[in-house]
Structure 1
Amino acid sequence: MNGQELRDALRGEMANTTPPPPLSTGAALAAARRAQFRRRALWTSLGSAAVVLAVTGFAVVTTPDDLVYQPAGQGPLVSLDATGDTKEPWPTGPDGKPQEDRTARAGSQHDRGVHLLNEVVAVVPTGYTAPEDPANQPADQRTLRTHQAQFEEKVDGVDRWSYLSSVAVAQGDRTGRVIVEVHDAGTQLATEPCALARDFWGMQGECQLETVGAAQVGVVVRPGNDDRLDQWSAYRHPDGVVVYVAQGAKLDESRPGLTTLPFAVPQLAALAVDERFHLR
């Protein structure tokens, strides 16, 4: 793929994305920050070779901050505020100094991200495996397990964080993925269950309500034009913590996808309510 083909592919990917519904000013800012965080998914369908061709000619891409960005993976290591959308310093790390970007690489927030990853691995159903990344994995190869703790914003003087973990799920030689993303209480995401579900990564789709005990969970059972994932559930706990659980039949273009998704819709809804993902 040459440079022109890459640009055409990116334009096509953006053109096929269904725009989210209008948001308030505060919600729009939060959504823009999340969209910047998620934009890595646009690179997935292009493959690492195109990224190499268009940007650096090497297997990894470096940012102006000299941080490594892995386009085909979940949970980038790149600064998410390179354009300077905040004047406040980043949260203070365990060394007593401000973080270098939105991502916590040590301390209690980072540990929550690790905990979330372990819990996601633990719920992989019987009949599927959660393979680990091989030692000395090439930098241009998509990672199989990732986690990230990301600073979102400061609300009333309190830092609000989100946590994302992505786990490759395999059945034989076929591989898909399960993703769990958790937002601290205080987020400006929607309240109504299906509106909340459609807030996930700005993706739209056909949503239905699922009842889990006394909880109402929004589940997108069929995506719109954005096919990064196949189904996802969304639940806001009474204390305001938001949990998304998503599944996709395909991990990347280099591996055959799953023929059957790991979870049925009721199971996907139940996982969004599951206390193991209720990070506090």
Structure 2
Amino acid sequence: MNGDELREALRHEMAVVASPPPLDTAAALGAARRARARRRTGWACAGSATVVLAVAGVAAVGTAGAGIPDSGAAGAGAPGTGTARAGGVSPTASGTTPLPGPSDRGTAEPWPTGPDGLPQQDRTAKAGTRYDQGVRLLDELIAVVPAGYVVPEYAPNQSVDDDPPRSSQAEFDGKVNGVDVWRYTSVATIAKGDRTGRVAVEVYTRGNELPTEPCALTRRFWGMEGQCQVVTVGNMKIGVVVQPTIDRRFDQWSAYRHPDGTVTFVAQSRSYSSPKNGLKELPFTVPQLAALAMNERFHLQ
């Protein structure tokens, strides 16, 4: 078969085959729209089922946990946890809820009034009776330092970035049942020869929500934990942490709650800045440290 015969045969075959019907545009669009509608309906049903299952799951969890105490609430009163409450701020050592800082106070209650008759700019008293109480606490702390130790003064060339050898502060800790609770803190470096350690006293005024059990109270100091023992002074029970666990800012500390609710912490450490230049022994024995916590010189308001 030559080329002409092949072309003729192909024309004959095409002539006898029926032509396809013309394309119906409207019908094609309708079919496409129906297919798309079916897909959307399928996704909507699947989504609805997922939502129903999720809601049912949440309801089941809530029902199952209705009789289980919340772990955060159960531990809120545990001493020395230092953990933040859900949805709120971390409690201070006294258990009070701190007021917002100056940048986020908004319409919150203003800071306590200073000696100028105006609210303080932050929680720290810069002047007035509360400030004077903090200074007095430092003087009382220095007064009980045992013989043979000295409390260094500020060096003339000391940098403002260096830890001061002695410091005091009066801070508004919060309001509990309408009562202003204040925290006074004083820290002093003590030296014997070329070796240095430090001592500290912290006082919470009455109205605070610190624990009453001796060791639970003692472990709340600066959020530190440790091995605690109860020491009897007269007819009073004083908690003394004799060995810290993880936080070793201090080696030992004691705590006492006065009958009016005021709480006093007294702490001591062998080292101040360098362990290798630390004191060979602590300045106070455990019974002395316990007795200092209930000393009236640290009973402030």
Length-normalised TM-score, structure 2: 0.67
Compare 217-226 and 252-261 and name the one that shifted more.
252-261
Q: Are 1:119 and 2:140 an aligned pair?
A: yes
Residues 98 and 255 (structure 1), Cα distance of their counterparts in 2 relative to 1, 3 Å cut: farther
Letter aligned with residue 153 of structure 2? E
Q: Highest relative contact order (Cα 8 Å, sep 6+), 1 or 2?
A: 1
What is the letter of the counterpart of residue 76 of structure 2?
L
Structure with higher Rg: it is 2
Unaligned 5+ segments in structure 2 are 1-73, 94-98
CA distance in 1, matches of 2:89, 2:201: 18
Cα distance per residue 1:160-206 (max 9 Å; x no partner): 10100001010111111000000011111111000000111111100
Distance 1:255 1:173 in 2: 11
User: In structure 2, what is the Cα distance between the partners aligned to 1:220 and 1:183?
Assistant: 19
Equivalent position SS for 1:115: helix
Q: Which residue number in structure 2 is paired with residue 222 of structure 1?
A: 243
Aligned partners of 1:118 and 1:239: how far apart in 2? 23
2:169 pairs with 1:152 = no
Contact 2:197 2:269 in 1 (8 A): yes
RMSD: 2.5
In structure 1, distance between residues paired with 2:223 and 2:200 = 15
The equivalent position to 1:259 in structure 2, one of 261, 266, 280, is 280
Match among 32, 56, 79 for residue 90 of structure 2 = 32
Answer yes or no: is 1:211 the counterpart of 2:239.
Answer: no
Work out whether residues 175 and 255 of structure 1, in 8 Å CA contact, stay in contact via their aligned partners in 2: no
Number of aligned residue pairs: give it: 216
Does 2:189 match 1:168? yes
Question: Of the candidates 72, 75, 98, which is equivalent to residue 22 of structure 1?
Answer: 75
Relative to its length, the structure with more helix (as a share) is 2
Looking at structure 1, the residues matched to 217 and 161 of structure 2 have their Cα atoms a distance apart, in angstroms, of 33
Q: How does the TM-score come out when normalised to structure 1?
A: 0.72
Question: Alpha-carbon deviations, 1:232-272, whole Å to 9, x = none?
Answer: 00000111000000001111239711111110000000000
Percent of aligned pairs with the same amino acid: 55
**Structure 1: distance between partners of 2:275 and 2:243:** 24
2:101 maps to 81
Structure 1 runs (4+) deviating above 4 angstroms are 27-31
- Secondary structure of 1:34's aligned partner: coil
CA distance in 1: counterparts of 2:274 and 2:91, whole angstroms: 27
**Are the aligned partners of 1:31 and 1:202 in contact in 2 as well (CA < 8 Å)?**
no
How far did 1:144 drift? 0.4
1:115-148 alpha-carbon deviations (Å, 9 max, x no partner): 0000000000011111111235211211000000
Match of 1:245 in 2: 266
Q: Where does structure 1 lack aligned partners over 5 or more consecutive residues?
A: 1-20, 36-78
Distance change >3 Å, CA 211–CA 85, structure 1 → 2: farther
